[in-house]
């Protein structure tokens, strides 16, 4: 708590560990390998990362931290009120099995790709993503599944997650707002392992995706519930799009 850290913090197999009110910076010219993230919470339960300032110092060149915060095989984690900027890939990434965790009140800017997302063996169950602001990035969300079921699990989930009151501003041109597409893909040599999938009950409510870019891509439509109040591009709704866009 209350430290300045030139490097990364990692919790592994921990319970109720925390890092808060710290300034974490990846130093320019660091001779060590680039970290996956400046805060890593791996195979843990009830860990917290709160009110930290995180600078990946990527400068758009891939030389800094890949992510701001990475959680993986995590349950009951809380990631809140952090300021994350200038990472090469993603502000907050949640891979493998992530359940009953909270990502709230974070300010994420100048990311190389995405604000918040998950893809490597991604399986998300009953998580809450709320009141986060993402700016100057390509996409607010990127959810997918590369390679199939996580280790120790028998099913891929994207079920019961709540996305509430998140805001996307000043998007970088190219990709559109983002995507939540729940399918299993092969990536970088992995072989999809034939996992069964459960995709339902993911609620989007009061999010502001902006009105100038493409609407966030959602698939399958049956996995999503319109909680109302979402702002998105009125002119870019495919037939059957599961949320109503308010201008």
pLDDT tens per residue across span 19-55: 999 999 987 765 556 778 999 999 999 999 999 999 9
Closest to 137 measured CA to CA, from 176, 104, 93: 176
Q: Round to whole Å and give the CA distance between 20 and 120.
A: 27
Over residues 84-114, the pLDDT tens digits come to 999 989 999 999 999 999 999 999 999 988 9
Helix and strand totals (H; E) in the chain: 0, 26
Per the DSSP assignment, residues forming a β-bridge with 67 are 37, 90
Q: Round to whole Å and give the CA distance between 21 and 82.
A: 9
* Structure confidence at residue 42 (pLDDT): 96
* Structure confidence at residue 191 (pLDDT): 65
Place of tokens 């339960």: 45
Between 147 and 175, the more confident residue is 147
Over residues 218-230, the pLDDT tens digits come to 888 999 999 999 9
Classified as helix, coil or strand, 234 is helix
Closest to 135 measured CA to CA, from 209, 68, 206, 207: 209
Residue pair 60/75 in contact (Cβ under 8 Å)? The answer is: no
Between 57 and 27, the more confident residue is 57
Weakest mean pLDDT among 123-127, 150-154, 164-168, 193-197 = 193-197
* Structure confidence at residue 228 (pLDDT): 97
Residues 6+ apart with CB under 8 A from 189: none
- Tell me how long the chain is: 247
* Structure confidence at residue 174 (pLDDT): 64
Over residues 170-219, the pLDDT tens digits come to 888 765 566 676 655 556 667 666 778 899 999 999 999 988 877 888 88
User: How far, CA to CA in Å, does 171 sit from each of 59, 162, 185?
Assistant: 17, 23, 26
pTM of structure:
0.93
Place of tokens 């009140």: 105
pLDDT band, residue 168 (cuts 50/70/90)? very high
């Amino acid at each position: 708590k209350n430290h300045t850290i030139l490097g990364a913090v990692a919790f592994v197999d921990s319970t109720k560990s925390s890092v808060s009110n710290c300034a974490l910076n990846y130093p320019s010219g660091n001779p060590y390998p680039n970290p996956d993230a400046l805060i890593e919470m791996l195979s843990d339960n009830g860990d917290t990362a709160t009110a930290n300032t995180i600078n990946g110092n990527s400068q758009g060149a891939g030389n800094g931290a890949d992510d701001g915060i990475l959680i993986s095989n995590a349950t009951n984690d809380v990631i809140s009120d952090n300021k994350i900027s200038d990472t090469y890939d993603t502000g907050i990434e949640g891979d493998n099995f992530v359940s009953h965790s909270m990502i709230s009140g974070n300010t994420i800017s100048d990311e190389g790709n995405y604000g918040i997302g998950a893809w490597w063996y991604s399986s998300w169950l009953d998580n809450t993503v709320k009141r986060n602001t993402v700016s100057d990035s390509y996409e607010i969300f990127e959810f997918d599944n590369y390679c199939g079921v996580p280790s120790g699990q028998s099913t891929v989930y994207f079920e019961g997650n709540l996305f509430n009151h998140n805001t996307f501003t000043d998007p970088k041109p190219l990709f559109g707002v983002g995507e939540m597409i729940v399918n299993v893909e092969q990536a970088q040599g992995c072989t999809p392992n034939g996992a069964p999938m459960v995709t339902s009950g993911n609620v989007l409510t009061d999010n502001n995706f902006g009105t100038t870019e493409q609407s966030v891509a959602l698939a399958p439509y049956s996995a999503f519930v319109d909680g109302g109040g979402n702002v998105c591009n009125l002119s870019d709704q495919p037939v059957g799009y599961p949320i109503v866009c308010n201008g």
